A and B are shown apart, each in its own frame.
Chain A
């Protein structure tokens, strides 16, 4: 079965600083999803990557999938208090990449933004 390891497990960053969260897979990633979860709430979709070398951005958040498709990184530029929460990566274990058979998730990275 596919396993996803996220690092770091938790991160405390001063407001305005940049940060990076990593997601490493034990197998090839056919579809890699990034979600954000606020404490006590559901998961909010951020981005989905499929192609090796692909990079997507949404506001100040950029996600990349490496060429070998076994690692993804999430980068936040000029962090703000609204970025605080738990970031989870999820992978589709099948070739379809669409997640129709369920996603496997990492355990998440807890991000705290200090004013």
Chain B
């Protein structure tokens, strides 16, 4: 099992650009979570899906953020337009309804 796979590992972009983060969950896991980690706020839940359906997106900070899960093996988190305060490490995690497995994260820097 390859675990939860996130890409890219690092992303540096200019303010105003669109950023897309990708996640491939573990096969058979029916829940997928997007988290953001910063020094100030720690690890925050942004949105989660159950069986590809978004269940709770109350953690998404602004309308600039959107997430999709078109199928059970792929999810994206998009920021458009990006701002410097979006700089953080973004984690994807998947779960078979009990316990989590996290990906290695995408470190996003917006300059």
| A positions within 8 Å CB-CB of B | 33, 35, 40-45, 48, 88, 90, 98-108
Contacts and interface: CB of A to CB of B under 8 A. Distances in A.
A40 B105 CA distance: 8
Contact of B97 (A41, A48, A90, A100): A100
Given A42-B91, A88-B43, A105-B43, A100 B102 contact: no
19 contacts: A42-B4, A42-B91, A42-B103, A42-B105, A43-B93, A43-B100, A48-B99, A88-B43, A98-B97, A99-B100, A100-B31, A100-B95, A101-B56, A102-B33, A103-B100, A104-B45, A105-B43, A107-B41, A107-B43
What class of interface size applies to chain B in its complex with A?
20 to 34
Nearest to B55: A101
B33 to A, nearest CB: 6
Chain B interface, DSSP helix/strand/loop, else mixed: strand
Contact of B102 (A42, A98, A106): A42
Contacts of B91: 42-43
A93 to B, nearest CB: 10
Contact of B42 (A45, A99, A108): A108
B83 to A, nearest CB: 23
B25 to A, nearest CB: 13
B102 A43 contact: yes
Contacts of B4: 42
Interface string B17-47: 0000000000000010100000001110100
Contacts of B50: 100
